[in-house]
Chains A and B, each alone.
Chain A
Amino acid sequence: MTRRPELATGAGVVALLVLFTALCGPGFVLSPQWIVQASEIGVVAVPLALLVIAGEFDLSAGAVLGAASMTTAIAHGYFTAPLWLAALLALAVGVAAGLLNGVLTVLSGLPSFLVTLVSMLLVAGATLGLSRAITGTSGVTMRSTDAAVVIDAPTVWWPVFAGAAAFVLSCTRFGNWVQALGGNREAARLLGVPTVRVRLVLFATTSLAAALVGVMQTIRFAGADVTRGQGFLFACVTAVVVGGQRSVLGACLGSVLCAVISAGVHQAGWGSDWAPLAWGVLLALSAGIGLASRAGSATVSRNSP
């Protein structure tokens, strides 16, 4: 338990599922409303976890989600581009934002927390300004979309991202580099790890994932507005931290935990007045578990796949 913090998260997930099933009936696990939300958080939390394992951070994911949403909506709903082109453009915006994060972090040598805070403001500000300049408004409705199911499938994308990330982290040289970077960047560089390339790839993947969620939400909800994604980053960071900041499995369990709490609080009819309190209690618990596990695993190797 203390060596694998994700096991503590897993136990938390099971306990919550039991609790909410008892309160709301078997439908809570059998026909889960929370699975789509868990998948969307998971798609971003998985690459974000790799980034965190490599010792970096990304605060701009929410703003990138908003930028990709508006790119899709403006390209498809306003300029009537075909959906695949709009989606590709939005994903390109995501990759570009991620590369910008990576290049700025590498060049400036500043903590990525600060760099991505700046890029969050830049991206969100540019989204608002450009949206109003181009369309005159900050909310754009999509044209009707029938052939959109292929892209809008979070429950498929999540396992794909998680499987690929788990494989890369535990079975490839790139995965070793990621872990080495998180251990000691200078030592990793001296050992021949291409630190710049690894970080660029991780930043780009995280932003690409955020952009993908933005595209999916824009298709599913037939439009976008510039405030999209402001609250999303919070859930992703929570998922990564609660999951132990060490493994893909932990991030996935953290994503389920966040979505289950979010859904359960409403389905149990407690009223959303209690939702923020539940988030706070959850974070406090995870911090406690993390402290306990660090104390217990002082002699265990830092990263487990």
Chain B
Amino acid sequence: MRTPVTLLLITALAASACTPRHQAPPDPSAGITVAVIAGPLSDPFFGAVKSGAERAAADLRVRVDYLAPAASGELGAELVRLTRSAVANKVSAIALGDYYPDQQDPEIRRAVDAGVTVVLVNSGEPSWQKVGATAYVGQDEQRVGELAGQRMAEAGVRRAVCVNHVPGSPVMAQRCAGLRTALSHVTEITLASAEATNPTATQQAISGALSADPLVDGVFTLGSGFAELAMRAVDSVKRADKVRVATTDLSTGVLESVRDGKLLFAVDQQPYLQGYYGVQVAVQQISHGLRPTTPVRTGPLVVDRANAASVLAHNRDGGIRGAR
């Protein structure tokens, strides 16, 4: 029962992945399969990455497979496993996030050596040239923190808390480090995963940090859900008039709060574009040998009171900006 199915799958894979390298087909992008490897779809942010990649696949008539580690797994090790299995399945290209460079870079280099076109998306600006990737599509994470810090300083913030909900992730650490370069005093609080998935515990952790330091006048969160919790935490310790909250990433709630002036701003990196351009770059490289020469930056794009309403209007188009 299983053997014919496996055989069929192998035949289908071989047909879809190998044919264009040996023949000269009329359509240069025919038969291309791009594996997109990024974060778990339980995070709406990555839902937008996947939507963008699928739109590009439909526009360019190629095939896209979205692969992601389980939300609670060993992320670095699982990303390496996914990369290895994509290469084994003979995909034409891999667009992936380089979240844990120490663990992932050797495997990415092996994929490049095996002849797979690799594009780093969402994370990997420091290493895309080192590993031999075709391009990097994403944002400079350090710059995100710097920009946020500058904008918060302009709004009068002097002493800020940076809420890190993924301890151990270099991306989150870079954002907090960027914030530190622009503001004179930044404390970082890290949420253990048991706290990060429980909104009551998260709110309490943030309000606890505010109680511990009465001089704090700014909170910077690194995910849309955490911004909404931070605003509640500020209310619960009755410092809404003193403490300004800002965040990375968008949701409907975040956009409405920015529009209403309750949230200072939100820094967007346009994950839909990262998925779209990631596939686009890979296909152009395979079909025509064309590639961008510098990182393709989809962020940081600041959404503040001036443009929140227009972004909100587009957010209704099915998770383009992340969460509804």
Contacts and interface: CB of A to CB of B under 8 A. Distances in A.
Contacts of B213: 269
Interface string B212-251: 1100000000001100110010001000000000000001
Interface stretch (A95-103, A173-181, A196-204, A218-226): A218-226
Contact of B190 (A136, A226, A262, A273): A273
Contacts of A132: 41, 47
B189 A262 contact: no
Given A37-B200, A77-B324, A138-B47, A275 B212 contact: no
B195 A275 contact: yes
B9 to A, nearest CB: 22
A208 interface: no
Contacts of A138: 41-44, 47, 323
A234 B43 contact: no
B62 to A, nearest CB: 22
A276 B167 CA distance: 12
Contacts of A33: 204, 207-208, 211, 236
A266 B205 contact: yes
A37 B236 CA distance: 14
A217 B192 contact: no
B76 interface: no
Interface string B180-192: 0000000101111
Nearest to A41: B200
B201 interface: yes
Interface in A241-281: 262-269, 271-273, 275-276
Interface residues of A, number: 46
DSSP class of A's interface residues: helix, strand, loop or mixed?
helix
A24 interface: yes
A77 B251 CA distance: 13
A17 to B, nearest CB: 15
A235 interface: yes
B191 A227 contact: no
Nearest to B200: A37
A225 B232 contact: no
B211 to A, nearest CB: 5
B15 to A, nearest CB: 29
Contacts of B190: 271-273
B194 interface: yes
Interface in A23-43: 24, 27, 33-34, 36-37, 40
A213 to B, nearest CB: 9
Contacts of B324: 77-78, 135-137, 139-141
Nearest to B317: A136
Nearest to A74: B324
A229 B195 CA distance: 10
A109 interface: no
Contacts of A3: none
B199 A221 contact: yes
Contacts of A40: 200
A37 B207 CA distance: 13
A157 interface: no
Contacts of A24: 211-212
Given A222-B253, A226-B42, A271-B189, A266 B197 contact: no
B191 A272 contact: yes
Given A221-B229, A225-B225, A231-B195, A141 B211 contact: no
A267 B211 contact: yes
A2 interface: no
B71 interface: yes
B200 A136 contact: no
B252 interface: yes
B72 interface: yes
Contacts of B201: 37, 231, 235, 262
A236 to B, nearest CB: 11
Contacts of B195: 231, 262, 272, 275
Interface in A110-142: 128, 132, 135-141
Contact of A230 (B41, B72, B208, B211): B72
A161 interface: no
B145 interface: no
B310 interface: no
Interface in A169-188: none
B253 A223 contact: yes
B283 to A, nearest CB: 24
Interface string A38-79: 001000000000000000000000000000000000000110
A275 B205 CA distance: 10
A231 B253 contact: no
Given A227-B71, A228-B199, 4 more contacts: A136-B324, A232-B197, A262-B195, A272-B195
8 contacts: A33-B211, A132-B41, A139-B44, A139-B251, A217-B199, A266-B189, A266-B207, A269-B212
Shortest Cβ-Cβ A-B pairs, 5 listed: A266-B208, A231-B194, A269-B212, A139-B323, A137-B319
Interface of B: 41-44, 47-48, 51, 71-72, 187, 189-201, 203-209, 211-213, 224-225, 228-229, 232, 236, 251-253, 318-319, 322-324
